[in-house]
Amino acid sequence: MKFGVIIFPGSNCDHDAYWTIKNVAKQPVTMLWHESHDLENCDAIIVPGGFAFGDYLRTGAIAKFSPVMESVRKFAAGGGLLLGICNGFQILCECGLLPGALMRNVGLKYVCKPVQVRVESTDTPFTNACRTGEVLTIPIGHMDGNYFCDASTLEELRREKRIVFRYAESDGRITPQANPNGSLDSIAGICSPGRNVLGMMPHPERAAEPELGGTDGYKIFESLVGAMAER
């Protein structure tokens, strides 16, 4: 099993993801430079958070043209496991690997705080260590986390159970007050039709060790390791 973490100019959570995989999950991991086509035979790819290319034009708009993303598209099309976190989620939407778009937060302010997300589906390689309805506390840190898609896409996401995380109260209730960015249907994370690509706005790598204040985020990496072991 081998993980790869992509580095773009402006990535700032790449080393956090690398640390979590290497030192907490204790799995082989390598950094992948954005100008390279070589995914180095990785079994799972992380597109990390940050501000790829300074978020010029809009979040992810330039990163999608990076050479590495050509290889990532082929990797995902072949069933490879791909996780986009925060800016990574934005990039995956820009690339068309996930539907919809991440818009400016309602309130037009950067939001950085722990939030609660309810696990809506455990039928993915990223959530198999969770329980359906389980509430996880994971931090967010974004200005453009307001997920939006058209009505037909939303219906498709619901019908196919591809909404993986929703913002929620600590008791699991979905309320407007629990939604930190105005995201449509309180969506915090979605997966692809093949369920091998996940985009999520919360940062699981920031909640993977007790020293960080909580370990709920580690369940995402635990799930990935388990899924890779079964392949």
Question: pTM for the whole thing?
Answer: 0.97
Supply the DSSP string of 161-209, one letter for each residue: T-EEEEE--TTS---GGG-SS--GGGEEEEE-TTS-EEEESS-GGGGSB
Mean per-residue pLDDT, 207-211:
97
Is 86 tagged catalytic?
A: yes
Q: Check pLDDT > 90 for residue 83.
A: yes
Question: Of the residues 94, 120, 205, 222, which is catalytic?
Answer: 205
Burial class (CB in 10 A: 0-12, 13-18, 19+), 25: middle
Which has more pLDDT, 230 or 72?
A: 72
Alpha-carbon separation of residue 126 from 38, 43, 116, 183 (angstroms): 24, 14, 17, 21
Phi and psi (nearest 5°) for 63?
A: -60, -30
Please choose, from the candidates 164, 169, 166, the residue with its C-alpha nearest in 3D space to the C-alpha of residue 195: 164
pLDDT tens-place string over residues 130-162: 999 999 999 999 999 999 999 999 999 999 999
pLDDT tens-place string over residues 215-227: 999 999 999 999 9
What pLDDT, on a 0 to 100 scale, did the predictor assign at position 106?
97
Is 205 tagged catalytic?
A: yes
pLDDT tens-place string over residues 170-198: 999 999 999 999 999 999 999 999 999 99
Q: Report whether 81 contacts 125 (CB < 8 A).
A: yes
Q: Check pLDDT > 90 for residue 57.
A: no
What pLDDT, on a 0 to 100 scale, did the predictor assign at position 231?
79
Q: Check pLDDT > 90 for residue 56.
A: no
Q: Check pLDDT > 90 for residue 1.
A: no
What pLDDT, on a 0 to 100 scale, did the predictor assign at position 37?
97
What pLDDT, on a 0 to 100 scale, did the predictor assign at position 183?
98
What pLDDT, on a 0 to 100 scale, did the predictor assign at position 230?
86
The span from the CA of 147 to the CA of 227, in Å, is 27
Question: Of the residues 86, 95, 149, 191, which is catalytic?
Answer: 86
The span from the CA of 105 to the CA of 212, in Å, is 25
How much of the chain, in percent, has pLDDT values that exceed 70? 100
What residues contact residue 35 under an 8 Å CB cut-off, 6+ apart? Answer: 66, 67, 68
What pLDDT, on a 0 to 100 scale, did the predictor assign at position 202?
98
Please choose, from the candidates 58, 55, 14, 59, the residue with its C-alpha nearest in 3D space to the C-alpha of residue 34: 14
Burial class (CB in 10 A: 0-12, 13-18, 19+), 91: buried
The mean pLDDT value of the chain amounts to: 97
Identify the CATH number of the domain defined by range 3-230: 3.40.50.880
